[in-house]
């Protein structure tokens, strides 16, 4: 399983690979933060004292891992399965952002506002995506990019403001 941005062409943009989220060992802050979100969402809308108690537990657990990672991933954010938070520090995701299956987000990334990530989108370290915008399936966002426009499927964008540096042909390119 690759830990490098845009390095794994075999990852699906549609079918979630939940194995990517499996907690590995006691110290696994990114996956544990995500697990708190998943467990909380599973309990949403459930009635009874046990569900209420467990919701409270996962809220506290989420608070703890948010503190450890200095990240803000809201408990109600819509996140497709198989998200990887590689080097999980300083990741800020707006509650209205939507993330497709099998994405990968590196450290210090911000999804500002209702950004929509397609499936299998890799976001390099320090990138800032400023809504409203949509990123197509299998796209790659370069380190420290500031993305202000839609990114076509399969494109790699980089720079400030981000421009397509490889991927779909010029006719399909929207940014820049
Ligand atoms: C965007 C990225 C995927 C492109 O990789 P690539 O396809 O191999 O691209 P290249 O290295 O061939 O670069 C192509 C051009 O884009 C430029 N470029 C590449 N990445 C860039 C970036 N992040 N910001 C600005 N320009 C960038 C290169 O300077 C080069 O410009 P040139 O053609 O004028 O010489 C990669 O550079 C990147 O940013 N990866 C993220 C890595 C990361 O965050 N890792 C986290 C580790 S903890």
Show the tokens assigned to 51.
């569900």
Q: What's the confidence (pLDDT) of residue 2?
A: 60
> What pLDDT was estimated at residue 174?
42
Instruction: Name the strand (E) or helix (H) holding 117.
Output: strand 116-117
Give the model's pLDDT for residue 170: 42
Ligand 1 centroid – CA 12 distance (Å)? 23
Q: Is the CB of residue 143 below 6 angstroms from any atom belonging to ligand 1?
A: yes
Q: Closest ligand 1 atom to the C-alpha of 107? A: 48
First to last CA, the chain: 32
Q: Hey, what CATH class is 19-172 in? A: mainly beta
What is residue 104's predicted lDDT score, i.e. its pLDDT?
98
Ligand 1 proximity of 101 Cβ (cutoff 6 Å): no
Cα of 142 vs centre of ligand 1, distance in Å, is: 6
b/e per residue 143-169 (b: at least 16 CB within 10 A)? ebbbbbeebbbbbbbbeeebbbeebbe
Assess whether the C-beta atom of 158 lies below 6 angstroms from ligand 1: yes
| CA 157 – ligand 1 centroid, Å | 8
Helices 49-69, 29-43: crossing angle, 10 deg rounding: 150
| DSSP code for 170 | G
In 3D, which of 130, 85, 137 has the Cα closest to residue 108?
85
Each of the 176 residues of the chain gets a pLDDT tens digit; together they read: 467 787 777 999 999 999 999 999 999 999 999 999 999 999 999 999 999 999 999 999 999 999 999 999 999 999 999 999 999 999 999 999 999 999 999 999 999 999 999 999 999 999 999 999 999 999 999 999 999 999 999 999 999 999 999 987 444 444 43
Cα(38)–Cα(36) distance, rounded to whole angstroms?
5
pTM as predicted:
0.94
Give the length of the chain: 176
pLDDT for the residue 173: 42
- 109 pocket-lining for ligand 1 (C-beta < 6 Å): no
Under 8 Å between Cβ of 36 and 56: no
How confident is the model at residue 3, as a pLDDT? 76
120 is catalytic: no
């Amino acid at each position: 399983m690759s830990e490098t941005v845009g390095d794994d062409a075999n990852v699906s943009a549609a079918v979630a690979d939940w194995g990517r989220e499996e907690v590995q060992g006691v110290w696994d802050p990114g996956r544990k933060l995500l697990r708190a979100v998943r467990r909380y969402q599973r309990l949403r809308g459930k009635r009874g004292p046990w569900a209420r108690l467990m919701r409270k537990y996962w809220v506290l657990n989420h608070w703890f891992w948010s503190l450890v990672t200095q990240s803000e991933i809201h408990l109600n954010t819509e996140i497709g399965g198989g998200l990887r938070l590689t080097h999980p520090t300083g990741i800020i995701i707006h509650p209205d952002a939507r993330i497709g299956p099998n994405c990968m987000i590196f450290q210090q990334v911000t999804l500002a506002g209702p950004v929509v990530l397609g499936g299998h989108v890799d976001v390099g370290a320090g990138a800032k995506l400023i809504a409203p915008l949509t990123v197509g399936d299998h796209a790659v966002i370069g380190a420290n990019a500031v993305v202000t426009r839609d990114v076509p499927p399969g494109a790699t964008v980089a720079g400030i403001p981000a421009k397509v540096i490889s991927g779909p042909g010029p006719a399909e390119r929207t940014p820049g």
